[in-house]
Chains A and B, each alone.
Chain A
């Protein structure tokens, strides 16, 4: 999604203001002039200034006829949106379900699913998907000793 600089500038100013407000909860230490709130506050003030410059620039572009929000080419195609959604969905699935389902089953389902959506032939997708997940699992789990969750396969591994 592409937004006019008015929008990005306003979001920046709001976020920076929230950051500065939050630094008021930081403690100050007796005898110390400069506490943990100093640096974030300087950053916040600078972000507000630059956010303001962005808004000014956006207003100028708006006067010249630029739209407030415009969709890039891929967002106008259903396939583009599904592709982005699938990639993000797979990552989210790993965050939420990897511990329950386990790396191997979740990995195979995700990989084969993505292959099929991107147009890899079914047989090829299945073979490459299963083989690569097993290799990645072997590499990280056995060689690098990363405790990848076993999940459903716990009784068998």
Chain B
């Protein structure tokens, strides 16, 4: 049985067209990740209009491959130009640059590449082992469990992913509120549509996301297009020299980083960038030589380089099993899954196990491909990084416009993109995080549906929300985090620092 499914999955993946798409998205991911200012989330957002026209397996394969490459490629400009290619590399950008200044550019890039590949593989192994087991477990879940799970996920997103929980919560509520536009999930009444037929289906998700992640980024880039940067001029030699001995010396760091990455990634709402920050901090805290941190020391890079790639795969665990995104990339993936008619949740594992296994296979492939492609990216980094921002930004803008248009085949998609882009830009300028809005928008309908079903079942008795054992555990955990947050806001009486 399992063997059959595995064979089907292999047949889905090992086809010429799928392989070609994976290779192309790998190159695309490397490029986007290596360009400072373009993030892995943005790579996903730009890919979605294309994946819309593909079959499920190549569509998911493109996203998996592009993001895995982008998270690694972000390390390259961090070391060469002191500019993280993606936020996931920001935690150790200064450390990497300091290493490069000391003449250890080769070692830095080699360690980054190797820990990315191995950390990514650990994340995939955990994903493959945990997801099916959890899915079986989740089959018994009712609306109460899903309600608390979504509540817990949304709470974690705010609690972990932002340094300003108050503004994070506001962003989340705004996302949920935007999600209420359209036909309501319980009674089928059109809400806040103001007579527009297009709004009945809700705010079109992909254009909204392109607006929030790409247009706001383009606006920011356009305001700082001629910002100077300094490239390290040191030639790149054999990047693998000394990597083996470094890993032998810091193998504990490698496994600790990967483990932290898996846990943070699997927690709903927090992804690769948070994993890198936390594992880097843990590395420094437990290091035998913490005084070396900041002077170009490789130890923390082993931790964080592994953590951000292992988080990427682990973020798919809650996304596939519960339909609750582990980070902003999987939030987009969930949107794609719905478009493909593969509603994420435990039943996908029963109905379409071959698709799930195909995704697993692509994950392994992508991480293996990262070694040669990453090496090639490092070797050609100097040429790639010379692509001027003033050519790139207008091109991405046109691509966003066409992509949004393609989602609705009308100007409506472009309009949604414009409105959400300006909205996100203004919010970000004022310190409101964007990721919780997307999570609210994606989870809104499921959250409300489970809430309404539970309310109707409980008929006003709030104790029913805690009557089932797993629901009770999830519910109490959620309430405990809320209490902790209120307490933190309560004791932090001093005015917020000016932004």
Residues of B within 8 A of A51 (CB): 170
Partner of A61 from B167, B218, B409, B496 at Cβ < 8 Å? B496
Do residues A40 and B180 form an inter-chain contact, with CB atoms below 8 A?
A: yes
Do residues B398 and A50 form an inter-chain contact, with CB atoms below 8 A?
A: no
Beta-carbon contacts of B470-499 to A below 8 Å, as 1s and 0s? 000000000000000000010000011011
- Complex CA distance for A107 and B432, rounded to whole angstroms: 33
B2 at the interface (CB under 8 A from A): no
A156 at the interface (CB under 8 A from B): no
Do residues A120 and B391 form an inter-chain contact, with CB atoms below 8 A?
A: yes
Do residues B180 and A87 form an inter-chain contact, with CB atoms below 8 A?
A: no
Task: Report how many residues on chain A are interfacial, defined by Cβ distance under 8 Å.
Answer: 69
A155 at the interface (CB under 8 A from B): no
A123 at the interface (CB under 8 A from B): no
Partner of A57 from B169, B426, B430, B496 at Cβ < 8 Å? B496
Given the known interface contacts A29-B187, A114-B397, A118-B394, the answer about A95 and B426 at a Cβ–Cβ threshold of 8 Å is no
Given the known interface contacts A53-B166, A66-B498, A91-B417, the answer about A146 and B189 at a Cβ–Cβ threshold of 8 Å is no
B192 at the interface (CB under 8 A from A): yes
Min CB gap B305→A, angstroms: 33
Hey, which bits of chain B sit against chain A, CB under 8 A?
Answer: 50, 53, 166-167, 169-170, 173-174, 176-177, 180, 184, 186-187, 189, 191-192, 215, 218-219, 222-226, 388-391, 393-395, 397-399, 401-402, 405-406, 409, 411, 414-415, 417-418, 421-422, 426, 429-430, 432, 448, 451-452, 455-456, 459-460, 489, 495-496, 498-499
Min CB gap B127→A, angstroms: 30
List the 10 shortest-distance A-B pairs measured between CB atoms, nearest first: A74-B223, A118-B390, A114-B394, A36-B184, A60-B495, A83-B222, A146-B406, A36-B189, A91-B418, A39-B448
Min CB gap A89→B, angstroms: 11
Given the known interface contacts A47-B173, A50-B170, A95-B414, the answer about A84 and B219 at a Cβ–Cβ threshold of 8 Å is yes
Do residues A91 and B429 form an inter-chain contact, with CB atoms below 8 A?
A: no
Do residues B499 and A2 form an inter-chain contact, with CB atoms below 8 A?
A: yes
Residues of A within 8 A of B460 (CB): 33
Sample of 21 A–B contacts (CB below 8 Å): A8-B430, A8-B432, A26-B189, A35-B189, A39-B448, A40-B177, A44-B177, A47-B177, A51-B170, A54-B166, A54-B170, A61-B496, A80-B223, A90-B397, A91-B397, A92-B418, A115-B394, A118-B390, A133-B398, A140-B406, A144-B50
